[in-house]
Amino acid sequence: MKTVAWIVLAVSLACTAMFVMTGLTDDTELPWLNGWMAGPVILLFVVPTLFRVGGMLGGGTAKAYRDAPIGMGTVVSVSRTGLSINDQPQLEIVLDVDTPDGQSFRGVARQIVDLTELAMVAPGAVLPVRYLAGGPERKVVLAVGASQQEMQAALNRVQLAKGTMTQKQLMIAEQGIDTQAVVLAMVPTGEIRGDRAVAHLTMRVTRPDGSTFDLTQEKALAASTVPQVQPGAVVRAKYLPHDESEVVVVTALAR
C-alpha cells in the first residue's frame, strides 16, 4: 500500500508542477481551470489517505517481522478498527502469546481478515504469530506467510516449553515417519492438565508396508484439537519405525 502511495505522490507532484506552469503561461480568462488541476487535488486529498491506510495496514512494519521468530497466540478478544479494504474488515486481535523459549506475553495484531475466515480468529483460537523483542505487551503480526513446517516446528517447541510435549515426543515429531491413523476410540478421563482435557486415545496406525498396529495412549488435548480426534477420524501421525510404543498425532494448524 505504501508503494502505491509513493507512486501516486510522484505522479501528483508532476501533475501539480504542470498545473502551475500552465496556469502561469496561459493567457485565457481562467488560466487555472485546466486538465492538470487533478494534480493538486490528488496531492491534497488522496495521497494523505493512501499513506494513512498504508500505515494502518502495516506497510513497512511487516518487513521487520519477515524473519522474526514464530510463537503461538491464543486469541483473547477481537474487535473491528473501522477500516475495511474491498469490504474486508481490519481487526484488532489481542492474543496471549507463548514462545518456543518459554516466554509468554500479551500481543496485539492488526490484520485485514477475509470475511470467510472470521471464524478462525474467534476467542480461544490458536494462531501462529511473528514477534519482536519488547515489553510485556507489544505488537505482533499473524504468520500468514510461514510454511506449514515452520509453524509446526514452532508449535512443537512451544508445547515442549509448556510441558505438554516430552522430549521423546519432540524427537518423534521431528524424526518420525509420516503416516495415517484411524481413531478407534476417544475416552475422556475427566482429568484437566492446565487448559487441556486428558483422554485415552485408541488408534489403528498404518505402517509403511500397509500393515497396521493398534495403540492406546493417554493424550492431553487442547480444545481446538478435540473435534479432530473423534472416533472414525483419519489423522496424520508420526512414529519411530523401531519403536511403536508411542505415536504423535499431528493436528491441523490454523494459517
Question: pLDDT grade, residue 201 (50/70/90)?
Answer: very high
- The residue ranges of every structural domain in the chain are 2-59, 67-145, 163-250
Is pLDDT above 50 for 155? yes
d(CA 189, CA 219): 10
CATH tag, 163-250: 2.40.50
Bridge-based pairing of strands 88-98 and 234-240 is unpaired
67-145 matches 163-250 in fold = yes
Residue 164 is predicted with a pLDDT of: 80
Task: Please tell me the distance from the alpha carbon of residue 77 to that of residue 207, in angstroms, as a whole number.
Answer: 43
**Residue 254: strand, helix, or coil:** coil
| pLDDT tens digits along 18-65 | 544 555 455 554 444 445 455 454 545 444 444 444 444 444 446 777
**Angstrom distance (rounded) from CA 53 to CA 80:** 15
Q: Is 136 exposed, middle or buried (0-12, 13-18, 19+ CB in 10 A)?
A: exposed
Q: Which range, of 71-75, 148-152, 170-174, 184-188, averages the lowest pLDDT?
A: 148-152
3-state DSSP percent of the chain in helix, strand and coil, to 5: 35, 40, 25
* 227-245 average pLDDT score: 92
Query: Could you say which of 2.40.160, 3.90.380, 2.20.25, 2.40.50 is the CATH number of the domain covering 67-145?
Result: 2.40.50
Q: What pTM did the predictor assign?
A: 0.62
Q: What is the pLDDT of residue 252?
A: 65
Is it the case that residue 204 has pLDDT exceeding 80? yes
What pLDDT sits at residue 199?
A: 93
Q: Residue 224, SS3?
A: coil
The answer to whether 189 and 218 are in contact (CB under 8 A) is yes
Q: d(Cα 91, Cα 76) in Å, to the nearest integer?
A: 13
Burial of residue 127, with CB atoms counted within 10 A of its CB: 0-12 exposed, 13-18 middle, 19 or more buried: buried
The pLDDT-based confidence of 188 (bands split at 50, 70, 90) is very high
CB 203 within 8 A of CB 237: yes
* Amino acid letter, 234: V
Check whether 87 has a pLDDT greater than 80. no
More confidently predicted of 2 and 166:
166
Residue 52 corresponds to which cell in the numbers above?
A: 494513512
Q: Which amino acid is at 98?
A: D
Q: Check residue 113 and give its pLDDT.
A: 81
Which letter does DSSP use for residue 228 in this model? G
